[in-house]
């Protein structure tokens, strides 16, 4: 049973499986912060593709914040769980209040991670969305739905590990779903990493800065010594 050493190793492995997208000028890699950033950095590096982030914030039901009535994503795109909103009788004012609060947090994180770098133009691009794994897939589903508003030519969801049924669900939702491993029983994403320590904001910022510096005539980079098994 495969267990990754850390997110960086997982990203390098994922990059190999995405080799068909290497060296193309229409490909953009988007990471879901925070844990998806170290994975996506290594995958983007292997493909010679630009790296950016795509933030998603859950819109929790007032008083039951763990229950998602929707999500807000980078660019301000809002996804609604209309059936749940109707069932619970959530008013438009209550919904808007949650959107306002989470939008402020989303903007704060965007500024903290991206700084003064502009977000990428995604229209007509092949967008590869990466996280460190998929358990329920809720954040990734929200990201995918929000991304459609940007009219990419193709959406690819790529992760090192996922619950089998969740990966199958994404295969129906997007143009391609790449899940390196779909172990059963799944347990949790962290069970498939030796080191699953929390990715810090500083690490996210550092990787994004490094990726920006490495961009510019980027080509797929060879594996470094010790990267392959």
CB 219 within 8 A of CB 48: yes
- What is the rounded (10 degree) CA torsion for 80, 77, 135, 114? -150
- Whole-angstrom Cα Rg for the chain: 17
**Residue 199 pLDDT:** 95
Average of per-residue pLDDT values in the chain: 90
Tens digits of residue pLDDT in 196-223: 999 999 999 999 999 999 986 444 444 3
Distances (CA, A) of 103 to 86, 157, 190, 191, 217: 22, 24, 28, 32, 35
Backbone dihedral region for residue 213 (phi beyond 0: left; psi -120 to 50: alpha; all else: beta):
alpha
- The per-type count for the chain, helices as H runs and strands as E runs, is 7, 8
pLDDT at 88: 95
* pTM higher than 0.75: yes
What is the average per-residue pLDDT within 103-115? Answer: 89
For the chain, which domains are there? 7-56+116-214 (3.40.50.2020), 57-114 (3.30.1310)
pLDDT exceeds 70 at position 78: yes
**pLDDT band per the 50, 70, 90 thresholds, residue 114:** confident
Which pLDDT belongs to residue 51?
A: 96
**Contacts of 56 by beta carbon, 8 Å cutoff, 6+ apart:** 32, 71, 72, 73, 74, 139, 142, 143, 146
Q: Model confidence over 7-22: pLDDT tens digits?
A: 999 999 999 999 999 9
Residue 112 sits at φ, ψ, to 5 deg, of: -65, -40
Higher pLDDT among residues 137 and 199, named by residue: 199
Question: What is the pLDDT, as a whole number, of residue 19?
Answer: 97
């Amino acid at each position: 049973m495969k267990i990754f050493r850390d997110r960086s190793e997982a990203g390098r492995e994922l990059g190999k499986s995405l080799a068909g997208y290497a060296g193309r000028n229409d490909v953009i890699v988007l990471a879901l912060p925070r844990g998806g950033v170290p994975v996506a950095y290594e995958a983007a590096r292997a493909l010679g593709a630009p790296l950016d982030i795509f933030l998603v914030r859950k819109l929790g039901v007032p008083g039951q914040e763990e229950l998602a009535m929707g999500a807000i994503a980078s660019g301000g795109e809002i996804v609604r769980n209309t059936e749940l909103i109707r069932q619970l009788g959530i008013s438009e004012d209550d919904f808007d209040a949650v959107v306002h609060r989470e939008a402020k947090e989303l903007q704060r994180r965007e500024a903290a991670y991206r700084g003064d770098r502009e977000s990428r133009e995604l229209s007509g691009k092949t967008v590869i969305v990466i996280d460190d794994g998929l358990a329920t897939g809720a954040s990734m589903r929200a990201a995918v739905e929000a991304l459609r508003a940007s009219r990419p030519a193709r959406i690819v969801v790529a992760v090192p590990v996922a619950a089998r049924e969740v990966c199958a669900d994404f295969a129906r939702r997007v143009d391609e779903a790449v899940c390196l491993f779909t172990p059963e029983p799944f347990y949790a994403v962290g069970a498939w990493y030796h080191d699953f320590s929390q990715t810090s904001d500083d690490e996210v910022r550092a990787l994004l800065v490094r990726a920006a510096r490495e961009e510019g005539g980027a080509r797929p980079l060879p594996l470094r010594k010790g990267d392959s098994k």
